[in-house]
Structure 1
Amino acid sequence: MAHTEVPNSVLRNIEKLARRFLRHKDSNSKGMHYVSWRELCLPRDMGGLGFHDLIAWKGALRARLAWTVINDPDSLLHKVVTAKYGADPWENIRRTRCSATWKIIREGADALAGILRWKVGDGRRVRILQDCWILDRRIERWPTFVNVEAVDNAHVNHLLDDNFQWNADVVEHCFGTIMAQRILNIVTTPSAGADQPELIKSCFGSSLAAVVYRDKFGPANFEFGWMHKLKLHPREKFHWWRLLRDAIPTNMWLLRRGLSGTGDCSWGCGGEENTEHCITRCSKLREVLDILGKWGFVLPFFDTLEMALDGLAILAETNRNLGALYCYAVYHVWYCGVPEMN
């Protein structure tokens, strides 16, 4: 995938096999699709399982090759491809015939663009709206005021004077007083010649491909990060991941889909069996917690789902063992109550 052209259709067929392996119980029966494949491919800190979307992962793998070419002008590969195709892999010129190597480098460069920031030299390579050259974001994705007509399809060199220093009047006309002051504080390096890209994010502890792939999904927004701190066994951790996504076949979940004739709890509690009931209100769960309390493991009783999640987040910081024990109790009560569904 990193060094050869693999058709997207082949990658999609491979993903189809992976989905079938994950969701089908055996060759004669199909499992239910509780969570979309797209969500499963989210990074773990965004609430996914960390599977790879192969199309996105292909570009991330090729970003390593593109960065090597861009960052090492003395390499033989850089000299060969730039002599034939130019030094800018982001150039919009599409050639009718080009080598597979150049196609791979271009795709890697496109994937790499999201984590690059440009050091302004002569400003000829940096697009004002589409490239990152102010802080760590592109202006087209920045909620700020800008005179779009003046900078649309323009490069940063339009904001520089003949000495490659900022033209304060032009900058202020295009961006306004406040934004202009931020831009004027950026140091240009005309002595270095052409604009130079640099990585916005450090790759310490991760590969470049992993950083590029992670960038495609934006900032982490998984509100249940405490679950990772509890260090649960993978079996219980996966169960809780499903619980928090309402992706577990409770009787209410099945009733809404016409797959069950009742929504009551399987333990005979008399209440509706939903996610909140399984985590907090089930009579069998409370019975188990009461027994654990008599054994010396004093666990809290929660009345609502919100209280339970807040309480578990606190336990993840203050008493990880008790938090994990509560999660284990919820897991085993569920699986002992409805073994036929799992």
Structure 2
Amino acid sequence: MPSYAMSIFHLPKSLIAEIHRMSARFWWGSKENQQNIHWCTWKRLCTPENDGGLGFCDIEKSNRAYLAKQCWRMIKNPDSLVVKVLKGCYYKDKSFLEAQKNGDGSYVWNILIWGKDLLEEGIRWRVSNGNSIHVYKDKWIPKQSTFKILSHPSLNDAIVDQLLTPSGNWNLQLIHEKFSSDDENKILRIPIGRGKREELIIWHYEGDGTYMVKSGYWLGINLEDKSRPFNTNPSTRLWSFFWKLKIPSKVKILIWKASHYWIPTKASIARRGIQISHICDACKSSIETTLVDL
């Protein structure tokens, strides 16, 4: 699917589903007159390689990540003509991040809001002098999930610069008294900007703070599983090591299938509810299985 199409259109779910079905049939070797077993769901194939999947492209999430790129450009280029037109129509007295979907809005506006919802999951403020960032309302803490202060709001409508000493450093005593230990540790790790550097909205998942479609896409994948932090999993290190092994790709795929019990042995087929004998046709005595089943 061309990237420019996903940057300007919200692809229909029916089209996306059909593309996914064709891709799955191709992967599992199904043909018009031959339906092979699909051993796992498309969602599992789209799971990152380091989490035990194959990293196939989920077109809907890729579509959303490309639209989020357009929203990022709107934030970074507020003086462009298209942004001025949209602002005059949909969010005159507020920022783009505060804008909402409009029932009477145009097609373009509503798909941008769809992309903005993803973008908001990964952006936060970069603190400079702290004079334009609200302590409790805004996202400025560099920790995944909310990017917000989770401590009880004991400082009404406070601005971040109120947490600084006259010399421009963090007020250690005030922060220790007003915030939880977790929030305190996160705050004190934030470097304070010097000089006239302005506060900036940055993309948390890239080192330079610039939004990238790739990291936006993987954030969208991980958001489906709220219990799993972004790009982390207990088995990540093992799978990461495995895919870097210098062995033929077909051997890697065979091992990957075997580790998930997806080799078409009689034991695996019977596990899927198909009535079949478990006995191996070669030895006539043992259950036909893979090594990982033993």
TM (norm. structure 2) is 0.72
Q: How far is 1:105 from its partner? A: 2.7
State percent identity of aligned pairs: 25
Cα deviation code 1:134-168 (max 9, x no counterpart)? 123244899xx633xx48xxxx982328xx42387
Q: 1:80 aligns with which of 78, 81, 85?
A: 85
Q: 1:165 aligns with which of 148, 162, 165?
A: 162
Q: 2:246 aligns with which of 228, 231, 238?
A: 231
Which residue number corresponds to residue 187 of structure 2? Answer: 183
Q: How far is 1:248 from its partner? A: 1.2
Q: How far is 1:214 from its partner? A: 1.4
- Report whether the alignment pairs 1:136 with 2:136: no
Which residue number corresponds to residue 64 of structure 1? Answer: 69
- Report whether the alignment pairs 1:100 with 2:100: no
> Judging changes above 3 Å, is the alpha-carbon distance between structure 1 residues 4 and 258 closer, same or farther for their aligned structure 2 residues?
closer
Judge conservation of contact 2:49–2:240 (CA < 8 Å) in 1: no
Which residue number corresponds to residue 216 of structure 2? Answer: 212
SS in 2 for 1:241: helix
Which residue number corresponds to residue 199 of structure 1? Answer: 203
Letter paired with 2:133: G
Which residue number corresponds to residue 339 of structure 1? Answer: none
Q: How far is 1:42 from its partner? A: 1.2
Q: CA RMSD in A?
A: 3.8
For residues 80 and 192 of structure 1, the distance between their equivalents in structure 2, rounded to whole angstroms, comes to 29
SS in 1 for 2:239: coil
For residues 138 and 157 of structure 1, the distance between their equivalents in structure 2, rounded to whole angstroms, comes to 23
For residues 165 and 62 of structure 1, the distance between their equivalents in structure 2, rounded to whole angstroms, comes to 37
Judge conservation of contact 1:90–1:106 (CA < 8 Å) in 2: no
Which residue number corresponds to residue 39 of structure 1? Answer: 44
> Judging changes above 3 Å, is the alpha-carbon distance between structure 1 residues 176 and 208 closer, same or farther for their aligned structure 2 residues?
closer
> Judging changes above 3 Å, is the alpha-carbon distance between structure 1 residues 270 and 190 closer, same or farther for their aligned structure 2 residues?
farther
Which residue number corresponds to residue 3 of structure 2? Answer: none
Structure 2 stretches of 5 or more lacking a match? 1-5, 165-170, 223-229
For residues 125 and 277 of structure 1, the distance between their equivalents in structure 2, rounded to whole angstroms, comes to 52
For residues 211 and 54 of structure 2, the distance between their equivalents in structure 1, rounded to whole angstroms, comes to 19
Which residue number corresponds to residue 334 of structure 1? Answer: none
Larger radius of gyration: 1
For residues 125 and 146 of structure 1, the distance between their equivalents in structure 2, rounded to whole angstroms, comes to 10
- Report whether the alignment pairs 1:12 with 2:17: yes
Q: Which has the higher contact order (CA 8 A, sep 6+)?
A: 2
Which residue number corresponds to residue 255 of structure 1? Answer: 270
For residues 188 and 62 of structure 2, the distance between their equivalents in structure 1, rounded to whole angstroms, comes to 37
Judge conservation of contact 2:102–2:110 (CA < 8 Å) in 1: no
Cα deviation code 1:200-252 (max 9, x no counterpart)? 23379x98111111123232433333332223333222222111111111121
Cα deviation code 1:1-27 (max 9, x no counterpart)? 210233333322332333344446221
Judge conservation of contact 1:117–1:136 (CA < 8 Å) in 2: no
Q: How far is 1:37 from its partner? A: 1.0
Letter paired with 1:75: S
Letter paired with 1:198: I
Which residue number corresponds to residue 314 of structure 1? Answer: none
Judge conservation of contact 2:135–2:157 (CA < 8 Å) in 1: no
For residues 91 and 40 of structure 1, the distance between their equivalents in structure 2, rounded to whole angstroms, comes to 35
Q: How far is 1:28 from its partner? A: 2.2
Letter paired with 1:88: S
- Report whether the alignment pairs 1:91 with 2:98: yes
For residues 104 and 189 of structure 1, the distance between their equivalents in structure 2, rounded to whole angstroms, comes to 39
Q: Which stretch has the larger CA shift, 21-30 or 244-253?
A: 21-30
How many residues are paired up? 264
